[in-house]
Amino acid sequence: MTQDKRIAALEAECAKLRAENEALRAIIHGERPGRTAAGPVERTQLQAAEASVRHDSPTADKVALFPSLFRGREDVYPLRWESKAGRSGYSPACGNEWLPGICEKPRIKCTDCPHRALLAVSDDIIYEHLCGRRTFGVYPILQDDTTWFVAADLDGSSWRDDIDFATRQRRCDPVDPASTAEAR
C-alpha cells in the first residue's frame, strides 16, 4: 500500500469514528440518532447506538433507539384501531379524531375532512407503543419514494426457509443482516 493510499484509508477511518462519536453524543444528550438536519446517519453509527441499549438501559435510550431501527415518515404515523364488531386496521393518527363539533366521522371520511390534523411521530407516542398502551405503525415509504427498511409477512411452516431464501436473493449493497420478529 502506498503512503497516499494509507493516509486516505486512515482519514476515512477517522471520519467514520468522528461520525460514530457524534451519534453517541446525540444519544447522551437525549437526541435521536438519524434525525438531525445534517442528514441520515450511516449504519455503522446506528450499530454503535444499538449495541449500547440493553434491557436495563434508561427509558429515554430505548425510546431513542426505536426510530433508528424503524425509520419511516416522521410527519405522520398510522394508529391501530379496532371496532366493536372485531374489525381492525391502521389509520393515520389525527389530532382532531372524534372531537365533538370538529370530527364528523363516520359521516365524512378522514381523507375528505377539512379539519384533518395529522400527528407527527413523537417520543411520547413511541413510549406509549413500547409500554403496550397503544399500537402504532410506520409508513416506511418516505416522501421521496425511498425507504430505510423492508418488511415482509411470511406465513406458514416454511417461514424460516423463506427468510433464508430472501436473504440470499438480495441484490443491493450494503444491506443489514435480515432481522426477524414474530408479530401478532
Q: Does 60 score more than 50 pLDDT?
A: yes
Q: How many CA atoms lie within 13 A of 22 on its CB side?
A: 16
- Identify which has the larger pLDDT, 44 or 87: 87
Q: Is the pLDDT of residue 148 over 50?
A: yes
pTM score, two decimals? Answer: 0.61
54, pLDDT greater than 50: yes
Question: Scanning the structure block, which residue is given the C-alpha cell 438480495?
Answer: 170
What is the structure's pLDDT at 39? 42
pLDDT score for 38: 37
Reported as a pLDDT band with limits 50, 70 and 90, residue 90 is very high
Q: Are 30 and 40 in contact, with CB atoms under 8 Å apart?
A: no
- Residue 183's nearest CA partner among 90, 119, 97, 93 is 90
What pLDDT shows up at residue 41?
44
State phi, psi for 16 to the nearest 5 degrees: -65, -45
Q: What are the tens digits of pLDDT across the range 157-183?
A: 887 787 777 777 665 444 454 455 555
Q: What's the CA angle centered on 36, arms 34 and 40, to 5 degrees?
A: 45
In this predicted structure, the answer to whether residue 108 has a pLDDT above a threshold of 90 is: yes
Q: Is the pLDDT of residue 50 over 60?
A: no
What integer pLDDT is reported at residue 182 of this predicted model? 58
